[in-house]
Amino acid sequence: GENVEQHPSTLSVQEGDSAVIKCTYSDSASNYFPWYKQELGKRPQLIIDIRSNVGEKKDQRIAVTLNKTAKHFSLHITETQPEDSAVYFCAASLNFGNEKLTFGTGTRLTIIP
């Protein structure tokens, strides 16, 4: 089955700087890669996603890149703000999401004011 690895497990950045979180996946058939943000005690919330026919996607301060050959994808947050502090999870699935998501182990991002 699919295996998703995520790094780093914790990340601290100064407010205003950029944060990058990286994930690798094992199943070359995976074609959908969402990112979720989870604040303490709350539900995971979808913040951005990318399909395998696209190499990069951007939504305001958040961007995701995908390298299908290397089987890795990354989340980039620019101009970080205190409210970006949370745990971020990457995930991968087949069939563009209408199959189970396999999650990474999460990155705890702390923005230092």
Partner 1 sequence: NAGVMQNPRHLVRRRGQEARLRCSPMKGHSHVYWYRQLPEEGLKFMVYLQKENIIDESGMPKERFSAEFPKEGPSILRIQQVVRGDSAAYFCASSPPRGQGEKLFFGSGTQLSVL
The distance of closest approach from Cβ of residue 23 to partner 1 in the complex, given in angstroms and rounded to an integer, is 11
CA dihedral 7, 4, 70, 63 (to 10 degrees): -60
92 binds partner 1 (CB under 8 A): no
Helical residues (DSSP H) of the chain, grouped into ranges: none
**DSSP string of 66-77, one letter each residue:** EETTTTEEEEEE
| Binding status of residue 37 toward partner 1 by CB under 8 A | no
How many residues contact partner 1, by CB under 8 A?
A: 25
Binding site for partner 1 (CB under 8 A): 1, 6, 32, 34, 36, 42-46, 49, 89, 93, 95-106
